[in-house]
Amino acid sequence: MAKKRKLKKGTIIIIGIVLFFVVYFLAFNTARNMEEDSTQPVKAELDKEDTRSLIKQISSKEKIYISDSKVEKVRVEESYWSNVKILFSEFTKIRKPESYTPVYNGYSDDGIRFSTDLNYFRVYTVSSEEYYKVPVATKKEFEKLLSESIYLSFDFVKQYKSWETVEIKYKNETKKIHKWKFDDLSLQMIQKRIVGKVQPEKSKERSDYNFQINIKGEHYDAVVETMGKDYIKISQKGKNESKAQAYYEVHTKLYNYLVSEIFEIGKSSK
């Protein structure tokens, strides 16, 4: 009798194990099918082709990078890109021109590229391209915006690997920054946003200390002025000796670094 009960117990255990695996696999397949069904509409949406013109697609992008013959991959401020996009409405779509050598090249963060020789504007992807004629009346403004998009960009100014010499002025004192400290200075330059002129100029008037950072590269000569603790002004001297300028709200790290580390203002000598 004892032997018979033992066999029945073993059979029950085996049946229980089989049932467990059957239920497990049924539940697993059901969950997987539900997951596939739930992700299918999303995948279909992602695969949906954008049928807009390429110039409209590039106009809708926010992260834009521009290069010229001197510097590469400079992140363009949104305010400058917004002004560039306004000019697109004046461009006329044409066939591919016979002669075309771009002087500016750019791209969006998702792979749409563009270039221009200032007479024509090309937008392209791996599979397609579009060409547009830049109106003669617009050419000068277009060139100015693209140039300032690079050389007044906060991203451009803090690219310390392109710096050749850096001098910082405070009143009648000038200090030259050695190359091994370029990266340290660059790390203090933290942008918050591009701003207008009024508030920074007022801040400069109220500030006890203001500094001028002169940065020279192979192809440029930039001036970064602190306007109190919270603002800077970036200037580039143009061909006609007039200055293009842009104002930024920044982190106070730069101001504090110049006060305490570079000029050691307020530190008592022993």
Per-residue model confidence (pLDDT) at position 25 = 63
Output the six-digit token pair for 237: 């001297």
Q: Mean pLDDT for the chain?
A: 85
pTM of the model: 0.73
Model confidence at 65, in pLDDT bands (50, 70, 90)?
very high
Q: Is the per-residue pLDDT at 204 higher than 70? A: yes
Per-residue model confidence (pLDDT) at position 45 = 44
Per-residue pLDDT reduced to its tens digit, 79-95 = 899 999 999 999 999 99
Question: Would the CA dihedral through 133, 135, 136, 141 be positive or negative?
Answer: negative
Q: What number is the average pLDDT over the span 34-39?
A: 52
Q: Is 53 exposed, middle or buried (0-12, 13-18, 19+ CB in 10 A)?
A: middle
Q: Is the per-residue pLDDT at 64 higher than 90? A: yes
Q: Is the per-residue pLDDT at 33 higher than 80? A: no
Per-residue model confidence (pLDDT) at position 210 = 95
Could you give the percent of the chain with pLDDT greater than 70?
78
Q: Is the per-residue pLDDT at 5 higher than 90? A: no
Of the two residues 192 and 28, the one the predictor is more confident about is 192
Q: 173-177 and 221-226 as β-strands: parallel, antiparallel, unpaired?
A: unpaired
CA distance 249 to 194: 6
Per-residue pLDDT reduced to its tens digit, 94-139 = 999 999 999 999 999 888 999 999 999 999 999 999 999 999 999 9
Per-residue pLDDT reduced to its tens digit, 157-182 = 998 988 999 999 999 999 999 999 99
Output the six-digit token pair for 208: 């006890």
Phi-psi region of 102 (alpha: psi -120 to 50; beta: other; left: phi over 0): beta
| Residue 114 CB partners (closer than 8 Å, separation 6+) | 58, 105, 106, 107, 121, 122, 123, 124
CA distance 87 to 199: 29
DSSP letter, residue 260: I
